[in-house]
Amino acid sequence: MFHKTLLVVAMLGAGAAQADPLDLRRADRIDGDAAAGAAKVTVCVACHGPEGNALVPAFPALAGQNAEYLYRTLAGFKRRADPASPMTAQVEKLDDADLRNIAAYFAARKRSAAPAAAGDRTTGAAVFDRGDPARGIAPCRGCHGAAADGHPRAADGPARYAYYPVLAGQNADYLVARLAQYRDGKIDDTTNALIMRGVAHNLDDASIRALADWLAAQR
Ligand code: HEC
Ligand code: HEC
């Protein structure tokens, strides 16, 4: 797994023309104040739902996500300033301490069930567990955990693994959009984004839909 990851990053690094992706391989744990964060999330929960459990399938759930992943993603919205993302305006007036505190707040909330999707679950489970060797797709569980609840070493391993997101109970339509973004090379500004871009590169639309429906149904 480790060798494969390095290979994927090295290959993408050689082929793509992105400007210096942020290196998260030595990133530290983040330390936020959840109580201070709670004071800043009124606007967020309008879209991301009560305590970060989004009711609209196109909006991501934030509850129970790793603080490190949340913080880094928020900082990424700020850095990229992509006019197409509604998040750009949301993070504009927040400083670095706000982002850490908000991340700590949502990480400490409990994730509830995603709105149920009625898709084919067998295909999603198979790709998640075994990948698709014929198309060079690595098994998702190696990095996102057997129960899709984050990297197996997120809590007790090197801090970099806390930057691998929890996927279980995430909203299906959001997952579909996000996987297509990685596949199409639209997110490439960190070493982690490049890892995920390498994994998603050969995913077809049907596999993406099946993975998303299966992941949304996990608890
Ligand atoms: C107008 C609706 C809206 C509001 C308000 C909003 N968001 Fe978002 N948020 C979105 C959408 C849509 C996405 C996914 C789009 C994208 O990735 O560009 C998203 C993505 C995110 C993500 C990435 C999730 C992931 O799993 O990668 C985080 C973290 C986030 N929002 C946090 C916040 C916080 C914190 C606030 C309040 C300061 C906030 N959002 C306010 C709509 C909103
Ligand atoms: C080699 C490790 C690795 C493998 C294998 C892997 N991922 Fe990832 N994945 C990551 C990392 C690291 C990130 C964080 C990327 C970022 O910060 O932009 C990520 C991010 C994601 C996200 C974004 C989550 C969010 O909340 O926005 C989704 C969805 C995802 N992966 C799904 C999958 C699926 C489905 C598979 C299997 C087909 C898979 N991953 C396989 C490492 C991996």
Can you read off the two tokens belonging to residue 149?
């609840």
Q: What is the pLDDT of residue 114?
A: 75
C-alpha distances (whole Å) from 117 to each of 80, 120, 121, 210 are 32, 9, 10, 10
Residues of the chain scoring pLDDT < 50: 1-2, 10-11, 13-18
CA angle, 117 then 102 then 67, to 5°? 65
Residue nearest to atom 9 of ligand 2 (CA): 196
**pLDDT tens-digit series, residues 165-174:** 999 999 999 9
Q: What is the pLDDT of residue 47?
A: 96
Q: What is the pLDDT of residue 146?
A: 97
Q: Is any ligand 2 atom within 6 A of the Cβ of residue 87? A: no
**pLDDT tens-digit series, residues 65-118:** 999 999 999 999 999 898 989 999 999 999 999 999 999 999 999 999 777 666
Q: Are 169 and 163 in contact (CB under 8 A)?
A: no
Distance of CA 63 from the midpoint of ligand 1 (Å): 12
Of the candidates 39, 40, 63, 59, which has an alpha carbon nearest to the alpha carbon of residue 51?
63
Pocket of ligand 1 (CB under 6 A): 41, 43-44, 46-48, 59-60, 62, 70, 73-74, 85-87, 90, 102, 165
Q: Is any ligand 2 atom within 6 A of the Cβ of residue 164? A: yes
Q: What is the pLDDT of residue 117?
A: 67
CA 23 to the chain's CA centroid: 16
Domains of the chain (ranges plus CATH)? 34-107 (1.10.760.10), 120-217 (1.10.760.10)
